[in-house]
Amino acid sequence: MLRTQNWQRPDYDMLKCNVDANFFTINGSPGWGWCVLDCHGHFINADSGWTQATFTIIEGEAMTSLQACREAVAQGWTNVMFESDSKIVVDALHSI
C-alpha cells in the first residue's frame, strides 16, 4: 500500500485502488469507499457505503482496505496497488 498526497497513475498494466473512510457530519455515521482506476485513469470499479456500527476512523480505513482487497480477489485482479491517506493503516499493512 502506498501513501501519497496527489493521485498518480499506476505503472502500465497495473490497477490502482484508492480507499478512504469518513464520518458523515449530519449523524456521525462512519462511511467508506474505494475506487479502482487503470493506468490510463479509466474507471474500473468502485463501491461505497455507510454503517451504523461504531468504529474509529483508523478502523474504518482498515475495514475499507479489507473490503477493497476482498473485491480484488473476487474479481481475479492480481495487478492491483492500493493507496490510502492513513499512514497508520499503511504502516500496519506493510508490517504484516
> Domain span at residue 79?
12-35+61-85
Asked if residue 41 is part of any domain, the answer here is: no
Is residue 18 packed enough to be buried (19+ CB in 10 Å), middle (13-18) or exposed (0-12)? buried
Residue type, 94: H
Is residue 51 assigned to a domain?
Answer: no
In a domain, 27, yes or no: yes
Domain assignment present for 74 = yes
What's the pLDDT score for residue 2?
A: 58
Does any domain span residue 56?
no
Within-domain flag for 75: yes
pLDDT of residue 88: 92
Q: pLDDT digits over 2-61, tens only?
A: 555 677 889 999 999 999 998 877 777 888 999 999 999 999 999 998 888 778 889 989
Give pLDDT, residue 28: 74
Is 65 inside any structural domain?
Answer: yes
Q: How many domains does the chain have?
A: 1
> Is 90 exceeded by the pLDDT of residue 75?
yes
